[in-house]
Amino acid sequence: MLKYDLIVLIRGGNFVGQKTKTVYFCAGWFTDNQNKAYKDAMEAIKENPTVDVENSYVPLEHQYKGLRVDEHPELLEDREWATATYNGDRVGVSTIDLLLAVYIPKEEDVGMGVELGMASALGKHILVVIPDEDWGKPINLMSWGIADQFIKMSELASFDFNKPAFNFYDGAVY
């Protein structure tokens, strides 16, 4: 590390490429489309120089007792697992810098809606990432309204998380 870089870090300053932002990685993993989008988005943020992936919150990596509901569907009837997993995700939303939602227009996810609502109530910036092939397709009115910014999946690896902004989605709502 250069002397200048150390001074900038000590004073809390930012410099280009610094991994300063943590995200709540909000994405489904229950269908083939969701799994593909999940993997594409995860790969992109790992390449992104402005995301601190190591200290971000990825719900799939924080399932209670390490048990994934997609591998153990019986957990949906286990109150302890359900309560602990929900509360872990709630804590995750509250402790990150912004929420990144990987959104597939034709596959609404109620859980994502709750996470979006939590993030909004806590004043977190909400970035919605839509796969390029789905860009412009109609999305849910509430998801459209709660988001601060929309980008295509192909923009995610180079998106500057240190410069959040507002924009409109280039598509209709339903």
Q: What is the set of active-site residues?
A: 115
Are the C-beta atoms of 130 and 150 separated by less than 8 Å?
A: yes
* Kind plus residue range of the DSSP H or E element containing 39: helix 32-47
Phi then psi for 129, rounded to 5 degrees?
A: -110, 125
Give how far Cα 123 sits from Cα of 61, 127, 152, 169, Å.
24, 13, 23, 20
β-bridge partners, 27: 102
